[in-house]
Amino acid sequence: MKTIKLIIVLLLSTHFIACNSDDDAPGPEITPVVSKRIENLHAPQTGGQGQPVGGEFTKFDFTTGEITTSNIDWDIAFRGTTIAVNGGVVTGTTDEPARNGAAAAVILTNTFSEVKEAPETSLFTQDADGAFAIPTGSGNGWYNYNFQTNIVSPIAGKILVFKTRNNQYVKVEILSYYKDAPASPDGTVHESRYYTFNYVYNPNEGDKNLE
Amino acid sequence: MRRVFWVLLALKSTLYSQNIEHVKNTDSIVHQNLEEVIISATRTQRQLSSIPLPVILIPKNQIQKSGTIRLNEILNEQTGIITVADESGFEGIQMQGISSDYIMILIDGVPLVGRSAGNLDLSRLTVGNIKQIEVIKGPSSSLFGSEAMGGVINIITDTPKSETLNGSASFRIASFNTQDSNLTIAQRKNKFSYNFFANRLFSDGYDLREETPGQTVDPFENYTFQGKIWYEINNTLSLFASGRYYFQDQDLSLFFNNNTFEGTSDLDEWNVQVRLEHDLASSLKLQYELYYTNYKASELLANPLDNEVFSQSDFDQHLFRPEIRANYNFSPKKALTLGTGWNNERLNRTFFDEEIKFNSQYVFTQYDFYPLSKVNIILGARFDNHSEYQSQFSPKISIKYDITKNLSFKTSTGYGFKAPDFRQLYFDFTNSAVGYTVLGYNVAVDKLNELIDLDQIIDVVVDINALNTPLKPESSIGFNFGVTYTNDNFLLEANYFRNEIENLIDTRVIARKTNGQNVFSYTNFNNIFTTGLEINTQYKLTKNIKLLAGYQLLYAKDKDVLDRLENGEFFARDSESLETFRLEKSDYFGLLNRSRHTANLKIFYEIPQWDSSINVRINYRSKYGLINNTEGGNDILDIYDPFVNGYALTNLAINKTFKKNYKLQLGVNNMFDYTDIQNISNLAGRQIYGKMEIQF
């Protein structure tokens, strides 16, 4: 957490410039999208390797762009390779946070930059009894697990699009599961359960634009 | 001379040996090739140079002068043929980019069985008693049926030549305490001939990673015995019988999870072949053949401290095959071959519930004729009826056109297939360490229901009813077009090939288990092609120096992957930014374990005044991918994935003959000590050897 770096790039769309121009007729206020990289978000877990998995999830709030300990003001949460959303109901795993928002998720197959807007609402799912909106397991959701090397690698071309608890849209590309995002992680050298990801967050409620 | 081209199936034919004598005294490449007779291409005796198919013939003197001892070594030095180890370390042959599963291996015309994950390990076969090796490239199912989809390699063993008792004994010692001993005894007396051969190979093995316990290759010892007899019963009947026995014992040790496990690996193989040749008329010959083979492999690893078994596997395969063939010559240049037979196969192995039997009946025919004096056409077809899969009809046409004495074209196209094998249909395997399960196609539904009853399955991800339609045989259509130019000192052969392969069988996930692992089963899904160019040249620089060079260009790709690339469905990760980008068609390298370029250069230098010869052989293969790097984010081999570096191996051999009957050989294989510990465990470093042979 000590190294969360803020690299806010304000993408000044022509539309945005037009809205702020004094000469224009007053229209709805559009806040620019936020592009940010989160580095080394630590998502520890207990158990695993045949033992029951447990431990608190690390919760993240797109409104502040920070991790949070709030039990209400969070959008997504991480524990090991599992990602929960603040929407739906508890899945039944131990130590998971209660869902009290309307967050949802969908996985798209595309490059990050080519996801220009969120897909239709019907494609989003929420956490449910026995199933996370972002499916767990190698090859099912956002990562592959290699049994020979014990390496978890984010699947290229998997873009996670979330609807936040406040009905805003955000796209996320997970870049690494290892501390300091090494290009070729080595399970015996690099510490795992440290997420590095890029996201583009649109603070305007219901606005699907993601560029 | 034309008569020389048309010698048909007469092992004892005096006509044939006269022809050979006739051309032997000339000394050019053309005439050397004329001497060479090949039998696998048509199942009749044909002059090598007259064959309308891409073939390679490796004669005994090349095998001997090269100082090789096992079949994989000598094949590896031929254009477009490499021996490759798959990701599990099983070694097999690859030809025109087609892997070992689809290449039939024959000894004296009858097939070998006993494959590990589809690969037939050719180091099982000694070259000590080989007369010649015949390699037919392209689909040959029209004559040989299943497995001959990518080609056929036929090993022809020695026949007795002399009326007096004769033979040879040799001993070769090499690095890693590798000892190879051979004994041959043969005689041809009146109507009776016999030939006996024995080989022993022993090695301490080698270790590429001395810092870890255990060896890369554990010590092993194997023996090959072969006895053959020929007997002329009367003018029209002759009998041939052959028996071969091979066994190997290997000590195993495995270091896993901080424990050392020890055990043994044993192989036993029998082949028995009996053939009666019946000449009903000079133009009509019949052959009745019985063949039986049994291949057994067993492996046991246990903890030496408490004798707890770590792994055990047994494999016991039988093949019984009666076959009848008839050859009828309408005229010297018009021949019809008919054949029919029955394959009875049985396999019992660990991970099978019970012994599985396959039965198939087949008929084949071939019509070989010259519609014009310079045009030879061979039409062939075979029909296979099988107990387990749909019947197969395999036609083939081959044409050769001699434009001039020196220049000819040949082209062939044919259908090939490979039946789903026992493992793909009946496997029931659960990995004890990791927990995944692999099920054969025919048992998948029942086994899956058993797992469901045991509450081991979360969900089934395929439509179970769809598993009731039978698995289809893998099939291919192969096309070859070649040009041959030859003059007294020079030979050039170029061949374009393309193999379109459909219904390739591979594993897919059919269900997810509660332990987080998957259940895999086999299905038909990939459509691939291999295409490229083979070039072979021979040049007689002087009377005593001969150069041989070969090159193969190869593209081997999955057509479904190409379609999906077109749709932009594959991504990779930038190694710097770690961000995803979309792969283009041009980023796709192709199938695993295929090198774009393979090449060889051989120089044979004779020094007659010293009764000596020296040869240098260099074999090169360019870079290739060994695993799909899923870390890169996709399961195809793209140019951003890690590759195994290309490499060249240089082998050298010096031969000297003393007093006519004593031969000394010194040599070095892998002269520049190339190893790639990470990727190529079957590539030992430099090996020096010395061999002494006595002929009597």
> Of residues B667 and B27, which shows the higher confidence score?
B667
The whole-angstrom separation of Cα A209 and Cα B15 is 87
The whole-angstrom separation of Cα A187 and Cα A168 is 36
| CB–CB contact A198 B579 (8 Å) | yes
| CB–CB contact A196 B634 (8 Å) | no
Q: Above 50 in pLDDT, residue A20? A: no
Query: B143: which 2 tokens?
Result: 């004559």
The whole-angstrom separation of Cα B361 and Cα B359 is 7
Q: Report, as an integer, the average pLDDT of B342-360.
A: 91
Q: pLDDT digits over B372-414, tens only? A: 999 999 999 999 998 888 899 999 999 999 999 999 999 999 9
- Give the per-residue pLDDT at B20: 35
What whole-number percentage of chain B has pLDDT above 70?
Answer: 94
- Give the per-residue pLDDT at B311: 84
Q: How far is CA B99 from CA A109, B118, B561, in A?
A: 33, 9, 19
- Closest residue of A to B641, CA-based? A184
Q: Above 90 in pLDDT, residue B46? A: no
| CB–CB contact B580 A173 (8 Å) | yes
Give the pLDDT band of residue A22 (cuts 50, 70, 90). Answer: very low
- Give the per-residue pLDDT at A107: 95
Q: Above 70 in pLDDT, residue B16? A: no
Q: pLDDT digits over B140-168, tens only? A: 999 999 889 999 999 999 988 888 899 99
The whole-angstrom separation of Cα B526 and Cα B7 is 42
- Give the per-residue pLDDT at A47: 80
Give the pLDDT band of residue A10 (cuts 50, 70, 90). Answer: very low
Q: Report, as an integer, the average pLDDT of B204-209.
A: 89
What pTM value is reported for the model? 0.85
The DSSP output letter for A117 is: B
Which among A137, A146, A185 has the least Cβ separation from residue B630?
A146
Give the pLDDT band of residue B238 (cuts 50, 70, 90). Answer: very high
Domains and CATH numbers, chain B: 2-695 (2.40.170.20)
Q: pLDDT digits over A90-135, tens only? A: 998 889 999 999 999 999 999 999 999 999 999 999 999 988 999 9
Pairing of strands B571-573, B545-558: unpaired
- The answer to whether the beta carbons of residues B191 and B176 sit under 8 Å apart is no
Q: Above 90 in pLDDT, residue B626? A: no
Closest CA to B335 of B375, B275, B379: B379
- Give the per-residue pLDDT at B17: 35
> Of residues B321 and B119, which shows the higher confidence score?
B321
Give the pLDDT band of residue A49 (cuts 50, 70, 90). Answer: low
Which among A138, A151, A156 has the least Cβ separation from residue B573?
A156
- Give the per-residue pLDDT at A111: 93
Q: Above 60 in pLDDT, residue B31? A: no
Q: Above 50 in pLDDT, residue A12? A: no
Q: Report, as an integer, the average pLDDT of B59-79.
A: 94
Return mean pLDDT, chain B.
88
- Give the per-residue pLDDT at A31: 86
Q: pLDDT digits over A133-178, tens only? A: 999 887 888 998 876 678 898 998 999 999 999 999 999 999 999 9
Cβ contacts below 8 Å, chain A against chain B, sum to 57
Q: ipTM beyond 0.85?
A: no
Cα B574–Cα B579–Cα B580 angle in degrees, nearest 5: 85
Q: Report, as an integer, the average pLDDT of B221-227.
A: 97
Query: B74: which 2 tokens?
Result: 């000598």
Best interface-test mutation with B: which of A111, A149, A180 has the largest number of B CBs within 10 A? A111
Q: Above 70 in pLDDT, residue A6? A: no
The whole-angstrom separation of Cα B527 and Cα B533 is 21
Give the pLDDT band of residue B35 (cuts 50, 70, 90). Answer: low
Lowest-confidence range among A61-65, A186-190, B539-543, B600-604?
A186-190
Lowest-confidence range among A40-49, A77-86, B532-541?
A40-49
Lowest-confidence range among B171-180, B368-377, B434-443?
B434-443
Q: pLDDT digits over B324-346, tens only? A: 999 999 988 899 999 999 999 99
Task: Categorise residue B244: left if φ over 0, alpha if ψ from -120 to 50, beta otherwise.
Answer: beta
Give the pLDDT band of residue A28 (cuts 50, 70, 90). Answer: low
Lowest-confidence range among B258-272, B453-467, B544-558?
B453-467
Look at the block and give the residue holding tokens 């049985």. B346
| CB–CB contact B633 A156 (8 Å) | yes
| CB–CB contact B631 A173 (8 Å) | no
Residue B459 pairs with which residues in a beta bridge? B512
**Within an 8 Å CB–CB cutoff, is residue A150 touching chain B?**
no
Which among B575, B576, B631 has the least Cβ separation from residue A153?
B631
Best interface-test mutation with B: which of A38, A147, A177 has the largest number of B CBs within 10 A? A147
Strands laid side by side in the A192-202 sheet:
A9-10, A34-42, A192-202, A169-178, A158-163, A104-109
Q: Which residues of B119-140 are buried (b: 16+ CB within 10 A; e: fewer)?
A: bbbbbbbbbbbbebbbbbbbbb
- Of how many residues is chain A composed? 211
What whole-number percentage of chain B has pLDDT above 90?
Answer: 64
- Give the per-residue pLDDT at A27: 54
**Within an 8 Å CB–CB cutoff, is residue B575 touching chain A?**
yes
Kind plus residue range of the DSSP H or E element containing A17: helix A14-20
Q: Above 70 in pLDDT, residue B4? A: no
Q: Which residues of A1-30 are buried (b: 16+ CB within 10 A; e: fewer)?
A: eeeeeeeeeeeeeeeeeeeeeeeeeeeeeb
Helices H / strands E in chain B, number of each: 9, 37
The whole-angstrom separation of Cα B55 and Cα B53 is 6
**Within an 8 Å CB–CB cutoff, is residue A80 touching chain B?**
no
**Counting beta carbons within 10 angstroms of the beta carbon of residue B413, is it exposed (0 to 12), middle (13 to 18) or buried (19 or more)?**
middle
Q: Report, as an integer, the average pLDDT of B10-22.
A: 34
Which among A151, A153, A181 has the least Cβ separation from residue B633?
A153
Q: pLDDT digits over B569-598, tens only? A: 899 888 888 888 999 999 999 998 999 999
- The answer to whether the beta carbons of residues A183 and B590 sit under 8 Å apart is no
- Give the per-residue pLDDT at B641: 85
Rg (CA), chain B: 26
Best interface-test mutation with A: which of B509, B580, B636, B640 has the largest number of A CBs within 10 A? B580
